Amino acid sequence: MVQLKRMSRADIPAVAEIEKLSFADPWSEQTIADSFDNENSIWLAGYESDGTLTSYLGGVCVAGEAEIYRVACHPDKRRGGFAEGLVLLMEALEEVETIYLEVRASNAPARALYEKCWFEVCGERRAYYENPTEDAILMRWEPGEGQHRCES
């Protein structure tokens, strides 16, 4: 059974390992720790029943406006609904009113995930990403009809 909840600081090394397996430009353990220590940060994680971290979402929320910085799952756990669960959990947080994110234009699986979670395209940033250079698609989520919020 998987548990989705707010991440603890002790999970930062596991997040850094998944970063290395997931991104061409992984965040360092120090960068993750710095983000985690920000008073406005939101870090959520998925855990196996034995406590092993399998997935995470990192972002920030200020005055109701949130931004997702990172979402990743261990390669062995991808396509299992973990990322979707974490995005939906962030949408359900009481302090979150709107969420923004950037996604690589070529990342069709991530774009499909965000669309499934009611995100809409709201812009584009040319040559935003490096390694390789690529455009970013900007997406926004706001609560709407057919969506439900949970109290956390």
Query: Active-site residues: which are they?
Result: 102, 114
131 contacts: CB under 8 Å, gap ≥ 6: 24, 25
**Cβ pair 100, 64 in contact under 8 A:** no
d(CA 88, CA 90): 5
8-state DSSP, 26: P
Spacing of C-alpha 87 from chain mean position: 6
Q: What angle in degrees, to the nearest 10, is found between the helix axes of 82-92 and 108-116?
A: 40
Query: Would you list the DSSP string of 49-94?
Result: TTS-EEEEEEEEEETTEEEEEEEEE-GGGTTSSHHHHHHHHHHH-T
